[in-house]
Amino acid sequence: MDQKERVLVNEEVVAKSKQWPNFIRAKLGFRNHWYPVLFSDEVKEGEPVKTTLCGENLLVNRVDGKVFAIKDRCLHRGVELSKKLECYTKDTITCWYHAWTYQWKDGLLCDIMTDPGSKMIGKHSLKTYQVQEAKGLLFIFLGDIEPTPLIDDVPPGFLDEGRAIRGMRREVASNWRVAAENGFDSTHVFIHKDSKLIKGNETVLPLGFAPPVDGEEGALWEVVNNESGPKGVYDNIGQHAVPVMEGKIHGETVLRPVIGGNKRIAQQISIWMPGVLKVDPFPDPTLIQFEWYVPKDENTHWYIQTLGREVANAAEEEQFDKEFHGKWKDLGLHGFNDDDIWAREAMEKFYKDDWGWIKEQLFESDGNIVAWRKLASEVNRGIQTLDNL
C-alpha cells in the first residue's frame, strides 16, 4: 500500500494501529469491491437516480433495461450533473452548464452541444462503474480493475437459487466500520433485551454470550480466507459460546432476560468482505438475515437490510413477500434493528476523529471483532482514497 495515498484518516492514528492499519485507513470503505447501493425497483428506465458510495457521487440510470453508473461530476468544471438533469437522448446525459454530453454505457464525451467541433469530443470519458443486478439489489463494482465475480463479495448462500430475498434500505449516521462491528459484536445482544421481537416471535435472547472459561483460543470463531470465494469470519455462537442468563452485580442477580418462547435464532453469525453480515437463522428459524453496511461517506452508511427464505415456487415466494411486509419488516428490521442503529450513532462520536480506535479497550468477547479487523486489513482489494473522489 502506497503510504502517500491520501486518506481521510489521521495518519498518527494509522501509525499507532499496528495490527490492522488498512482497516483504520478504510474510513471511506474499500476500492475494487462490489457494494449494493439501491434496490432494482428504485431505478426506473430513463430516470437517473443520484447516490453516494464511498464518498463518490454517482448517477445510476436504466437504459433499455440495463443499469449504468457514472460519476456525477462533469469533466469540464466539476459540477454535479444531477444538479439539473438534462437528457436529450436515452443513451446520453448532457451537463446543464456548457452542454458537454456523455454516454451512459461508457462515460464517453460524445458531443459538446455548445461547440460541436471541439477536439475534446471522443477523447475523454467520465468514470463509469459496472452494475450487476442480483436478488432485487443493484451492486456497483467501485473499482479500477476488471470486476471480480459478485459471489466473492457476498455471504455464502446469498445468491443461491431458490432463496428469495426481500429488504429495505436506510441511511444511518455512523461510519460503516462502527456499524459492521455493532452487527458482529457477540455481547451487544444486551441492547436487544427489551426488543419486541422476543415476545412477538416467541423467542429467547440471553443477556450476553461469554467465551467458554476453559475454551481454547480461537475455538469461537473461524476465519475464511480462500483464494476464491467470499472472505470472512464465522462466529459459531450457538455451538461454542456460553449464554448468560443472569445479570449480576456484586454477586446479586439484578437482571434476567425476557423469555418470549423457545425458538432458537442467531446460532451462527458471520461477517464478510467488504462489510456484510449474515445471521443464521434470524429473526425466525425459517429466515436468514443478510445486511450490508455500505459506506456512503465518512460519517454515514447505507444500511441495507435483507431477509432470505428458501422457497420452492412462486406461491411460496408470494407468501414470503406478504410476511415480509406484514410482519418481519416491522418486528425485525425495525423492531429489533432500530436498537442497533441507535447504538451505532451513539458510538460514532467516540470514533469520529479516529482516536477512538486507539483509546478503546476491548475485552475477551471482542475476539471475533479483532479477527475481522485483521482480515479486512489484509485481504481488501484496495482502500478508497481522497484521490478517487
Interface contacts to ligand FES, rule CB under 6 A: 74, 76-77, 79, 95, 97-98, 100
Residue nearer to ligand FES on the CB measure, 93 or 375: 93
The entry of Fe ion, ligand FES, none that residue 97 binds, CB within 5 to 8 Å by partner kind: ligand FES
The entry of ligand FES, Fe ion, none that residue 340 binds, CB within 5 to 8 Å by partner kind: Fe ion
The entry of ligand FES, Fe ion, none that residue 304 binds, CB within 5 to 8 Å by partner kind: none
User: Of all helices (H) and strands (E), which one includes residue 317?
Assistant: helix 314-323
Is the omega angle on the peptide bond into residue 274 within 30 degrees of 0, that is, cis? yes
Q: Which stretch binds Fe ion (CB under 5 A): 112-120, 150-158, 221-229, 334-342?
A: 334-342
Least distance in angstroms from the C-beta of 339 to Fe ion: 6
**How far apart, in whole angstroms, are the C-alpha atoms of residue 129 and residue 60?**
10
Q: Which three cell numbers stand for residue 293?
A: 453496511
The entry of ligand FES, Fe ion, none that residue 269 binds, CB within 5 to 8 Å by partner kind: none
Under rule CB under 5 A, residue 280 binds Fe ion: no
Q: Which three cell numbers stand for residue 247?
A: 445479570
Least distance in angstroms from the C-beta of 309 to ligand FES: 47
Under rule CB under 5 A, residue 185 binds Fe ion: no
Under rule CB under 5 A, residue 291 binds Fe ion: no
Residue nearer to ligand FES on the CB measure, 98 or 263: 98
Bridge-partner residues for 103, per DSSP? 92
Under rule CB under 5 A, residue 340 binds Fe ion: yes
Least distance in angstroms from the C-beta of 195 to Fe ion: 9
Residue 136 vs residues 48, 300, 304, 318, 354: alpha-carbon distances, Å: 18, 23, 12, 14, 35
Under rule CB under 5 A, residue 235 binds Fe ion: no
Q: Which residues, 6+ apart, have CB-to-CB distance to 76 below 8 Å? A: 95, 97, 98, 100
Q: How far from each other are the two terminal CA atoms of the chain, in whole angstroms?
A: 18
Residue holding cell 426488543? 195
**How far apart, in whole angstroms, are the C-alpha atoms of residue 384 and residue 178?**
17
Residue nearer to ligand FES on the CB measure, 50 or 327: 50
User: Of all helices (H) and strands (E), which one includes residue 172?
Assistant: strand 163-172
Residue nearer to ligand FES on the CB measure, 111 or 181: 111
The entry of Fe ion, ligand FES, none that residue 98 binds, CB within 5 to 8 Å by partner kind: ligand FES
Is the omega angle on the peptide bond into residue 281 within 30 degrees of 0, that is, cis? yes
User: Of all helices (H) and strands (E), which one includes residue 69?
Assistant: strand 66-71
The three-point CA angle 59-63-68 to 5° equals 40
Least distance in angstroms from the C-beta of 142 to ligand FES: 23
Amino acid letter, residue 192: H
Residue nearer to ligand FES on the CB measure, 76 or 352: 76
Amino acid letter, residue 216: E
Q: Which three cell numbers stand for residue 361?
A: 479497550
Residue nearer to Fe ion on the CB measure, 33 or 192: 192
Least distance in angstroms from the C-beta of 59 to ligand FES: 13
The entry of Fe ion, ligand FES, none that residue 100 binds, CB within 5 to 8 Å by partner kind: ligand FES
Q: Which residues bind Fe ion (CB under 5 A)?
A: 340
